[in-house]
Structure 1
Amino acid sequence: MDNGASSYRRFLEGDKNALIDIIEDYRKGLVMFLSSITGDFCLAEEIAEETLLKLYVDKPKFSGKSSFRSWLYSIGRNTAIDHLRKASKFEKVPVDDFYDLADKEDIERNYIKNEEKKHLLRALEKLNDDYRQILYLIYFENFSNTETAKIMGKSERQIRNLLYRSKESLRNILEKEGFRYEGI
């Protein structure tokens, strides 16, 4: 029997120091082996810790059919494969990409814009049906005046007039509420 098997047996019998011996004897080699699987030294260290934690928590049975070292490495290999399989389900984004996130997205500006949209939608609810429909079709659905005319069953001239009146009506509602929205 090699030292790892006897240390593991002592651990199973209640000697907590025996696990420390196993960690000291096998951790570095296990990390190097797992690094060859993961291609990432830091991840290999995490998986090695997880493997050794399995010994402590799960206390798997060592049958002695192989050396303790090959048995431990096979547990590590299986743990690494499980980890890589789970990680492959998620898109990997390098941490460095998050440093520019605040620059790309101004959180305060987005919050204000969302509040303005909510205010605009409340004002739209106060308009009559034709005004609300034409503004929705043209500005939210990006239909042309011709397409909007077909949808609403009106001529293009009626649509232009209706669009002008609906924008004026919306602007008046917003100004009465002390709000000015860009693009109206």
Structure 2
Amino acid sequence: MALAFLFSGRLGKASSAEALLAQFTRSGKPGYMAQLVEQCGPDLYYFLVKQSDAKMAEDVSQQTWLKVIEQHQRFAGGASFKTWLFTIGRHTLVDEMRRQQRWQTIEWDDHISESADTEVWQKVAQHQQQMAFDAHLTLLPFVQREALILQLEGFSLADIALITGQPQETIKSRLRYARQFLQQFCGVDHD
């Protein structure tokens, strides 16, 4: 983004990112690329920082612009320059996250129809609810958490009593307290 400061105003402003890239391709003058960085750089950085941290976003942003400079002639114009830029940025971010072993993904069907949109949001809500449940589960005292996890695994009261060496009435009490706590904070009952 320092390039934009050095070259801004020297070559005149082009009307679009596509026109700036075309001028850069024809002339090779770095001022056009600097204007592209000035025009699209903040949006790219924002996109990257929302999915990583500031240091990684800065590094990936620079790597992306280097790739744009190296591959500028590959831009076919089928999509906007910004779409092409963000595609390169996303691929670079994913590669960097994989390299640092920070890549996590939730498998979603890539070809979800609009009619399935509600289903997707339901899955997202369920996932968020499960994350809240898991977080609150860790707040339970060990014996309550143990009893609840065993029940969630499908064990009967008699089995849980046998596993823990406690009377069934004690297990019932632990389960009741655990459910009350979770209902209070999560608003759900995971039987």
- Settle same-fold status: TM greater than 0.5: no
Query: What TM-score bracket applies, with the shorter chain setting the length?
Result: 0.3 to 0.5
If the length of structure 1 is used for normalisation, what is the TM-score? 0.44
